[in-house]
Amino acid sequence: MSSLPLIGQAVPAFQTRDTKGQLISTKDLLGHPYVLYFYPKDDTPGCTAQACSFRDAKPLFDHSQARVIGVSPDSAASHEKFTAKYGLNFTLIPDSTHQLCEQFGVWQEKMLFGKKGMGVIRTTFLIDSQGVIRWIESPVQVEGHEGRVIEALQHLSAS
């Protein structure tokens, strides 16, 4: 189990496919900042609230030319249903093997309903246009989260 990367470090290199099968890699994402957020499960109350807040704040992310990318262990089919049900307007990446979650140190032991098990620790990374991690929230508090991400993005844009 790896630990979270640190602020100031290069984002761990990855290459994966989004829900639509499009290839996404750290190399392709260079040139603009992006938000990479990890969440436990599609269509659950906290994850839905978080996704909908990112959806609703999209104009603010667009203003900073920042892309939002969500990652969970759900399947591509689950992501497609989640996207359609809530009108999500950003990229989702299925990570059913937990490879990306493990690479970013968010696949950890946790307690759920009194039982220990492995799962995603809700975590958000803000990565700059050069591929360097500039801000992390872990574990994420869903309420007001998109505002904190936008504030961090605005600080990034101002520097």
Active site residues: 47
Residues 6+ apart with CB under 8 A from 4: 104, 105, 106, 123, 136, 138
Give dist(CA 119, CA 19) in Å, integer: 20
* Rounded alpha-carbon distances, angstroms, from residue 64 to 24, 104, 111, 124: 20, 24, 37, 17
